[in-house]
Amino acid sequence: MSFELRFQIPGQLQRSIPLDQSRIMVGTLLSNHVVLKAPGVDPIHALFEEVDGQWIVNRR
């Protein structure tokens, strides 16, 4: 089974990101897997992590 992260920032197009790695980092840093440029988004905003077949979301 494959999963994807779907989101939309106001004023921008909806985006879909495949969760095809065991760790996906989200935030404003260019080194993140998903880079978001929007007010209120931290440099490392969240971490999506697959553990024992389940996805866990950690707010950083």
Q: Where are the domains of the chain?
A: 21-60
Give 10-32 pLDDT, tens digit per residue: 888 999 999 999 999 999 999 99
The CATH class given to the 21-60 domain equals mainly beta
- What letters, b where the CB count within 10 A reaches 16 and e where it falls short, cover 19-45? beeeebbbbeeeebbeebeeeeeeebb
Contact 19, 46 (CB under 8 A): no
pTM of the model as a whole: 0.81
Query: What's the per-residue H, E or C state across the chain?
Result: CCCEEEECCCCCCCEEEECCCCEEEEECCCCCCEECCCCCCCCCCEEEEEECCEEEEEEC
Amino acid at 14: Q
Residues 55-60, mean pLDDT to the nearest whole number: 89
